[in-house]
Structure 1
Amino acid sequence: MFYPLILYKITLLLLLSSFCLSYLLTPIAQNLAFRFNVLDTPNYRKIHKSPTPLLGGLAIFLAFLFTLVFFYLLISYQLFITGPAFFSFGEEKLFWLKMALYLICSLFIILIGILDDFKSLDFKLKLLIQSLVAFIMVFSGSRLNFFHLSYLNALISFFWIVGLTNSFNLLDNMNGLSSGLAIIILSLFAFLAYTTHHALFALFLLIPIGSLLGFLPYNFPKARIFLGDTGSLFIGFSLATYSTWLFDHLIKSNTSHWAVLIGMLFLLFIPLCDTLTVIAIRIKKHHPIYVGDTNHLSHQLVKRGLAPTKAVLILFMGSLLTGILGLLIF
């Protein structure tokens, strides 16, 4: 009878902890960016008028990391006090092993993000490191097990992780867009995990949600700091990884393979649609796919007369609506 009360307390603790840490760490990251001249200077593709500090992603990651450690200690204590029979989430050991590997790989993603924010790295080097990280994640079990052929699942999962990692990097072109979409998608992931009896995963997802919420006031509607590649790559990599875990959980829950696949595509519709559209345009125009332009969905809305803030809000609504449709499919 006390289980829901414990769950609600942990939910509140995780959201508040991650939010407050991120909210407090973001100004520190802002000052560091100014001190070391890690700034995004305006150009024809960008709407900001003055150099803006990067490294917002560093504050998000640190808030996420500290809260995750707190979460682990909290769960361990609760299981010790009440016993696993009373407060069991299922597959705890496997979950934490996967989490440890994800954190190690995230450190590499954060590292290349920071280096790229300080001094732009060659695209090929970034792609190489992302590919190595994706390879590690896939062959440790983070994959989309849709087909009966394991090597085909591994190949698709590899491109899925690399693609989504870069998708949010490409999507980070207007204030609040990447972080806001990530909050919406993660919230839908958490709801889906909870309603399909994976409470541990649902609780965990509150940590990145809170970390992003703490950063958002500094980035939307007016940006005092940007995510930088540190933040956008970490968000993309995290969502890619979480989606494979959720996919695997839903398949094991005897949900239809096709329902899981189509539902997942709906949950991630806006970032996937934006990325595929931009890549198609760049290929058609014989432009390198890694060179930025103003052909993103947000840019198209602005070209049609909308203010950037309204364009971002429309994409938020679009993501929420397609996400709800995705939930109805499962």
Structure 2
Amino acid sequence: MGFYLALFVGALLLALLITPLVRRIALKSGIVDAPGLRKIHSSPVPLLGGVAIYLAFTLALLGLTGWILPFYFLQLAAILFGATLMSITGFLDDKYGLPPLVKLLAQLGVGLWLIISGVQIEVFRVSVLNVLITLLWVVAITNAMNFLDNMDGLSGGVSVIAAAFFFLSAYQSGQWLVGALGATLAGAGAGFVYHNFGIFSQKSPHQIFMGDSGSLFMGFLLAACGIKLRFPNTDFVTWMVPVLVLGVPLFDITLVTLSRLRRSLPIARGGKDHTSHRLVALGLSSREAVLILWMASGALGVAALVIMGASVRDGYVVGGVVAVLAGWAVLRLEHVPLVNTNPAVKGSGKGLKNNAETTKPEIK
């Protein structure tokens, strides 16, 4: 446990120190997130928080695991290389704005890279199906975390919670690689969230956003953790645990996709129709909505740990209850009327359809 604690603390301290430096660079370079119809901030906010997360994660992991790298070199190197490509893709999108197709091709590319390196889902006897489900998982989770990046602390906080539960699951089952990735990512993410969410203040300071450089990076790493986490003696746990741990981002991307399809709107078009926006429309503040989704992520993580020690029957009962609750929540939230709450943006007060149609592409 001491080794994992060192990874967490090392990444945490590095992120706490690096994030303010990256913020200054983003401001000087003009890499900021401008206010918009689907944004909750009324003034430009520096991006590139993801660069701080990437640097803290990489420096801590490589600095503290050099002595054990030979045992896991190929797969760890493959995951780090893919994560680096995702971070670079996100940085370019933050700075220049990349077409959705380019980002999708990048995600498929790193997914194929994982498969070639031996990191893939193995649930089917037909190898082609395993390749397809691996690519689908990488693209879905990477985009789900990117979709979730719509309020201060939301995507970052959920990523920290998910990484922590991946660490706990791996630690209990003796899976070093996933444990190291989870502990380090949780630390790096927590250091960033401190600056992004304003944990010890009542109002979110909007100091810095993670941007695509962070959400793509963290989403890819969480997808890789879900692939690598294995329970050979209990197949249903192998696929159910990652789904539960990443339940909040999966729920959000499912809700948004179904909602836009139902309204004949482009899935790739941004809008204030995410889970967090709907919770705000129900009367919560943005901060309260984020905390609710943090708690939901934690509850799903606990359910994943319960399933690890449960019988197959009990595991499916837990999974079934979660699925029913998720279905009910989709139906309930889908019919919440939404309005733009950003007074700094023209068009405030327009409804959900207008919001979804007039914002920039969102598919990452």
TM-score (normalised: structure 2):
0.80
- 2:194 maps to a residue whose letter is P
Q: Give the SS at the match of 1:145.
A: coil
- Aligned Cα RMSD in Å? 1.4
Distance 2:73 2:300 in 1: 31
Distance 1:286 1:300 in 2: 19
Q: Which residue in the other structure is 1:127 paired with?
A: 104
Q: Mapping of 1:194-273 within 5 angstroms?
A: 194-221=171-198, 222=204, 223-246=206-229, 249-251=230-232, 254-255=233-234, 257-273=235-251
User: How far 1:200 moved relative to its partner?
Assistant: 4.8
Gaps of 5+ in 1: 1-6, 77-91
Q: Which residue in the other structure is 1:174 paired with?
A: 151
Q: 2:264 aligns with which of 272, 286, 296?
A: 286
- 1:250 maps to a residue whose letter is F
Distance 1:237 1:101 in 2: 12
Q: Which residue in the other structure is 1:3 paired with?
A: none
- 1:258 maps to a residue whose letter is F
Q: Does 1:184 align with 2:177?
A: no
Distance 2:268 2:84 in 1: 23
Q: Is the 8 A contact 1:139 1:154 kept in 2?
A: no
Q: 1:115 aligns with which of 92, 108, 118?
A: 92
Distance 1:75 1:258 in 2: 31
Distance 2:67 2:115 in 1: 29
Gaps of 5+ in 2: 199-203, 309-364
Q: Is the 8 A contact 1:18 1:63 kept in 2?
A: yes
Q: 1:30 aligns with which of 9, 23, 31?
A: 23
Distance 1:130 1:198 in 2: 26
User: How far 1:74 moved relative to its partner?
Assistant: 4.8
User: How far 1:299 moved relative to its partner?
Assistant: 0.6
Instruction: Give aligned-pair identity as a percent.
Output: 37
Distance 2:195 2:242 in 1: 30
Q: Mapping of 1:48-63 within 5 angstroms?
A: 48-63=41-56
User: How far 1:120 moved relative to its partner?
Assistant: 0.8
Q: Mapping of 1:76-155 within 5 angstroms?
A: 93=71, 95-155=72-132
Q: Mapping of 1:6-21 within 5 angstroms?
A: 7-8=1-2, 10-21=3-14
Q: Is the 8 A contact 1:39 1:53 kept in 2?
A: yes
Distance 2:114 2:261 in 1: 29
- The 1:263/1:17 distance shift into structure 2, 3 A limit, reads closer
User: How far 1:329 moved relative to its partner?
Assistant: 1.3
- 1:326 maps to a residue whose letter is A
TM-score (normalised: structure 1):
0.88
Q: 1:66 aligns with which of 59, 62, 83?
A: 59
Distance 1:299 1:45 in 2: 9
- 1:117 maps to a residue whose letter is D
- List structure 1 runs of 4+ shifted beyond 6 angstroms: none
Q: Is the 8 A contact 1:169 1:229 kept in 2?
A: yes
Q: Is the 8 A contact 2:4 2:179 kept in 1?
A: no
Distance 1:206 1:262 in 2: 21
User: How far 1:264 moved relative to its partner?
Assistant: 2.4
- The 1:74/1:13 distance shift into structure 2, 3 A limit, reads farther
Q: Give the SS at the match of 2:123.
A: coil
User: How far 1:278 moved relative to its partner?
Assistant: 0.4
Q: Is the 8 A contact 1:52 1:226 kept in 2?
A: yes
Distance 1:119 1:286 in 2: 29
- 1:242 maps to a residue whose letter is C
Distance 2:8 2:244 in 1: 26
Q: Is the 8 A contact 1:266 1:323 kept in 2?
A: yes
Q: Give the SS at the match of 1:316.
A: helix
